[in-house]
A and B are shown apart, each in its own frame.
Chain A
Amino acid sequence: MLEIRNLHAEIDGKPILKGVTLAVKPGEVAAIMGPNGSGKSTLSYVIAGKDEYEVTKGEVLLDGENILGIDPDQRAAKGLFLAFQYPLEIPGVATMTFLKAALNAQRKKRGEEEIAPADFIRSVNRVADKLGISREMLRRALNVGFSGGEKKRMEILQMALFEPRMCVLDETDSGLDIDALRIVAEGVNALRAKDRAFLVITHYQRLLSHIVPDTVHVMADGRIVKSGGPELASELEAKGYADFAAQTAA
């Protein structure tokens, strides 16, 4: 589903990604773990198409099509979703208005009809209930005045609503207490499906005990330095990242 080949990227002339190669199959949940500054968040931004990062080499394929060079909104319409580490606040734009604008923009690009208002409200409410998001929150401006946990739940709500096929979760566990973490993880698990893949980026093993991955990749200094099964996460938790940093240096 998602294939990254020898990806190099830099920001303001400073190289961050130095040859990332990685593949995620349909139905797979892949985790990327790594210390701060290893390039995890950059990877998620480059996949989603943030302007300020310059890709100097390599490809990112979604269903075999290179998506580098197309606008972020086009990528979203192709079924790519990035759950932000720090979801942005948009004052003055009601959450419902935003959700509808985004959903219809994606449908339009796929040549689908706009969603009927009643269906839209029904789907939002259904997902919101599962995630414990109140109607009152949906009426407020997007993410404005939301707590850290509420913002993360709002990201998961969008993921559920848009039904993307490739989901990238950037440090979704950061800033969450244990209860919020469970709600978020349940939201993600409920979306696991044969034709949907996940790339879960995290610093800690904690999230991975709630969202059990099929594969784990370790990232250090802009590269994937080791790949393995779920047991790799526990190993990391026990030993820390220091060993892997040494491998990078070699």
Chain B
Amino acid sequence: MTAPTPIRTKAETALMAQYEALRRELPKQAAGQSAREAAMATFAASGLPHRRIEAYHYTDLRNLLREAAPLAHRPSATAGSSVEAGRFLGDIDAHEIIFVNGSLMHAEGLASQLPKGVSIGMVADTAPGILDGNDAVVALNTALSRETVTLEIAQGVAVERPLHLAFIQDAGAPQAVFARVCVRIGEGASVTLLESHEGPNAIATQSNIGVEIAAADDARVEHVRVNAEGDKAFSLSSLGLSLGHRACALSLNLILGSAISRHQILARFAGAEAKLRLDGVGMLDGGRHADVTLVVDHAMPGGESRELFKTVVDDRANAIFQGKIIVRPHAQKTDGKMMSAALLLSEDASMSNKPELEIFADDVQCGHGATCGALDENLLFYLMARGIPRREAQAILIRSFLGEALEELSSDELREALGGLIDSWLVRRS
């Protein structure tokens, strides 16, 4: 069946025009251009994905993205920002790598400040190495990011303090930000990455951020991503993870902000016996819409994956979890378990869960679970019978429910910082 060419929406037309403008602005470098051209062609062919595209069934971008905001201008390389990056996280002892409106700040000075074995650079080519280039959001990210910022951790280096990639939307009017970061962690190296996104309230900012993390054999990485964007933000993000032989990766996504967000993760097992942990904490209120979609692709034998996503949905908010575990033929001895649990805190909240198993190898142990419901009245009663008021009892239960998804973090400092974000959300709620 060949679908008829869809009528372009206003947003689609605007995005294509933005690409034309960006192409004129960017220096003509052959390698970079061809990837962009191809990506834009992919996007032009498919348009914004809609509900009949399975992966976007619950987040119909054609319908949700009515206006494509103009591309944010590149700030001068040394410009200050109106906000202090990552302040909302409290004091985190980390090496800061700041992006304002998608552009890396102080690139020159950074290199000397980063610890030994860590190097940062920029390349014009934005072709994805792990992410799926056929996905419309990734294609847009490829076409419209100005460059790829690369971060390399040399073989065998253990980076002590976390590297904090702090993304800031510095906006006074609606604008769109595209950025691509590629992190390569050398053989046996280890690092903690903190990725934070923040922006102003009340302004319809848009973002499309692509991050790729390639962990070589025996590498270890812990990646914490915090979405604290403004309350009118439209945030699209894609994370590509690749795990080498015996590599070990954890990625935790915490959602606190954005009016509409979609975070998609593609994790590929490129080497045998790798271990992956994906966790998520979602706190949704008002009329927010948050979609977390992940694909865990076990292509090699002996891999282990664990996913735990906890979501609380209040007011009129709408949460979506889609998680697929694929076990390819010959990926024997794969052990994969996925769990999504949601608490609906109000009459008008809604949750859609779509866990999926796609299994082509027989010697595997895979499973998934999904639950959805209100706070357990028996637990509430037990707490109240011990003297704790209802609202506080609810907070305790929500806190412990969400807190479970933080337990695998090895850094106490980060766990406390994220716990603090949960607490502040609970305070705001009561």
Interfacial residues, chain A to chain B (CB-CB below 8 A): 48-52, 71-73, 75-77, 81-82, 84, 87-88, 90-93, 98, 101-103, 105-106, 109, 141, 158, 162
Contacts and interface: CB of A to CB of B under 8 A. Distances in A.
A32 to B, nearest CB: 18
A76 B377 contact: no
B396 A87 contact: no
Interface in B377-427: 377-379, 381-390, 392-393, 396-397, 399-401, 403-404
Contact of A101 (B382, B396, B403): B396
Give the interface size bracket for B toward A: 20 to 34
Contacts of B379: 88, 90
A92 B387 contact: no
B382 A71 contact: no
Given A50-B381, A71-B384, A105-B389, 12 more contacts: A48-B385, A52-B377, A71-B389, A72-B385, A76-B386, A82-B385, A88-B382, A92-B401, A98-B396, A105-B392, A158-B386, A162-B386
A98 B383 CA distance: 9
A113 to B, nearest CB: 15
Nearest to B395: A101
B397 A90 contact: yes
Contacts, number: 77
A91 B400 contact: yes
A102 B384 CA distance: 8
B377 A73 contact: no
Contact of A72 (B381, B399, B403): B381
Contacts of B399: 92-93
Interface of B: 377-379, 381-390, 392-393, 396-397, 399-401, 403-404
Contacts of A141: 400
Contacts of A102: 383, 386-388
Nearest to A97: B396
A93 B382 contact: no
A91 B407 CA distance: 12
A101 B400 contact: no
Contacts of B385: 48-49, 72-73, 75-76, 81-82, 84
16 contacts: A48-B381, A51-B381, A71-B389, A72-B381, A73-B385, A75-B385, A82-B385, A84-B385, A90-B396, A91-B400, A91-B404, A98-B386, A98-B396, A101-B396, A102-B386, A106-B386
